[in-house]
């Protein structure tokens, strides 16, 4: 009996990691880019960035670090008030893929639907690492695979790309970035400087190459995000988690 290619593709997701399935903003539910569906059918217009990935795997270096494999901007943007919450929900996350959750913004300086990912300069707005004996991914799972991202209240209004990321720490780090177009309204005049996506990580950060299953006794920190990316602090500092 012959089976369509999509059957075998979907079967591979049983042991996968995860992708963002929906984004909730101010009472409106936006669909994510479903990598288990859209590679084989026409995707609708989304606020989520598309990817050429046909699995739920990770990235580690190069251009794909920006917004995952072949990341391209969505045609739409989700409107959010400065100081508001964007709730991101993953389809799943594996409990043994532990690590931090980090959120960045980058100004599109125009229409996010046509922005070149190579020119986006990201600044970190929130992060959680190892807190009270558990990792941020444990918190994410306990919250139904969801994460609330607070948009800075004094950020200048305009189009932004939200880069939401999970990092799995297995010795050889695994990055799982997911990007979303936002239109921020209200706010103030803050316009923080950022860093090009391909330069967010050198790959040599001590924590990125840590195998947490070997124990953390060699490190001294209050929050894991302090030790794996010490040179990128959150902006503004009041949003540090």
Q: Which of 49-58, 166-175, 177-186, 205-214 has the highest mean pLDDT?
A: 177-186
Residue 28 confidence class, pLDDT cut points 50, 70, 90: very high
In a domain, 82, yes or no: yes
In a domain, 7, yes or no: no
Tally of structural domains, the chain: 1
If you average pLDDT over residues 194-201, what whole number do you get? 90
Please choose, from the candidates 49, 103, 52, 53, the residue with its C-alpha nearest in 3D space to the C-alpha of residue 76.
49
> Which CATH number goes with the domain that contains 200?
2.70.50.70
In a domain, 9, yes or no: no
pLDDT at 190: 94
pLDDT at 3: 37
Please choose, from the candidates 230, 228, 240, 220, the residue with its C-alpha nearest in 3D space to the C-alpha of residue 99.
228
In a domain, 160, yes or no: yes
Residue 17 confidence class, pLDDT cut points 50, 70, 90: confident
In a domain, 4, yes or no: no
Residue 54 has pLDDT above 70, yes or no: yes
C-alpha to C-alpha distances, 135 to 96, 141, 237, nearest whole angstrom: 11, 10, 21
pLDDT at 6: 43
pLDDT at 131: 82
In a domain, 235, yes or no: yes
pLDDT at 216: 59
* Average pLDDT value for the chain: 84
Range of the domain at 168: 19-239
In a domain, 13, yes or no: no
If you average pLDDT over residues 106-125, what whole number do you get? 96
In a domain, 3, yes or no: no
* Residue pair 57/66 in contact by the 8 Å Cβ criterion: no
pLDDT at 114: 97
Residue 105 has pLDDT above 90, yes or no: yes
Residue 234 confidence class, pLDDT cut points 50, 70, 90: low
Tens digit of each residue's pLDDT (9 = 90 or more) over 133-175: 888 999 999 999 999 999 999 999 999 999 999 999 877 789 9
If you average pLDDT over residues 98-106, what whole number do you get? 92
Q: How many CA atoms lie within 13 A of 170 on its CB side?
A: 11
């Amino acid at each position: 009996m012959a089976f369509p290619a999509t059957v075998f593709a979907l079967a591979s997701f049983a042991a996968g990691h995860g992708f963002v399935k929906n984004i909730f903003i101010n009472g409106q539910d936006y669909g994510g880019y479903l990598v288990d569906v859209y590679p084989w059918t026409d995707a609708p217009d989304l606020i989520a960035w598309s990817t050429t990935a046909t699995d739920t795997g990770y990235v580690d270096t190069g251009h794909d670090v920006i917004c995952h494999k072949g990341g391209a901007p969505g045609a739409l943007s989700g409107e959010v008030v400065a100081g508001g919450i964007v709730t991101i929900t993953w389809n799943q996350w594996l409990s043994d893929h532990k690590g931090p959750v980090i959120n960045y913004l980058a100004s599109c300086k125009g229409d996010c639907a046509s922005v070149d990912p190579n020119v986006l300069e990201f600044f970190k707005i929130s992060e959680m690492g190892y807190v009270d004996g558990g990792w941020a991914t444990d918190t994410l799972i306990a919250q139904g695979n969801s994460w609330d991202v607070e948009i800075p209240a004094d950020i200048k209004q305009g189009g932004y790309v939200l880069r939401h990321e999970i990092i799995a720490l297995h010795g050889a780090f695994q990055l799982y970035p997911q990007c979303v177009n936002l239109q921020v309204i209200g706010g103030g005049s803050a316009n923080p400087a950022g860093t090009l996506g391909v330069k967010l990580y050198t790959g040599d950060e001590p924590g990125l190459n840590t195998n947490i299953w070997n124990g953390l006794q060699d490190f001294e920190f209050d929050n894991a995000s302090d030790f794996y990316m010490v040179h990128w602090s959150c902006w503004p500092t009041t949003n540090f988690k």
